[in-house]
Copies of this chain bind each other. A is one copy, B any other.
Amino acid sequence: MKSEIGTLGLPPKQFDLVAKALADPRRMALLESIGSEREYSCQKLCVEFPVSKGTISHHMKELVRAGLIEQRREGQYRFYEVRREVLAAYTAELMRRVARVSGQ
């Protein structure tokens, strides 16, 4: 999900993907680890979390699909980086959607 979130908020489809991606505690934990450094290797995640590499790969795919992380390939290694603008756009859109309009 490569979208421009410049002036207009998150597209509805991406909004749903982000919400879904954040809903799983394990995936959220993975995102937190990635966010704790400037970038985070897949290897480190595999060591840190008690799940198979297949499962890690699956979660990374979902996070990328939602636009929450960016992937960098370096030889045989993969590095991930959190896209905080997307996260910020999500929270902004979330608050906007429940901003009361009618009836004061």
Using a CB–CB cutoff of 8 Å, the interface residues on chain A facing chain B are 16, 19-20, 22-23, 25, 28, 31-32, 35-38, 82, 84, 87-88, 91, 94-95, 97-104
Residue pair A97, B22 in contact (C-beta under 8 Å): no
* Interface SS of A by simple majority: helix
* Copies of this chain, whole number: 2
Q: Across the A-B interface, give the 3 residue pairs with the lowest CB-CB distance, nearest first.
A: A35-B98, A23-B23, A91-B91
How far does the alpha carbon of A47 sit from the alpha carbon of B95 in the complex, in Å?
25
Residue pair A102, B36 in contact (C-beta under 8 Å): yes
Give, as a whole number of angstroms, the nearest-CB distance from A104 to chain B: 7
Residue pair A102, B35 in contact (C-beta under 8 Å): no
A-B contact pairs, 10 of them (CB 8 A): A19-B19, A19-B22, A19-B23, A19-B28, A32-B97, A35-B100, A37-B102, A82-B98, A87-B94, A87-B98
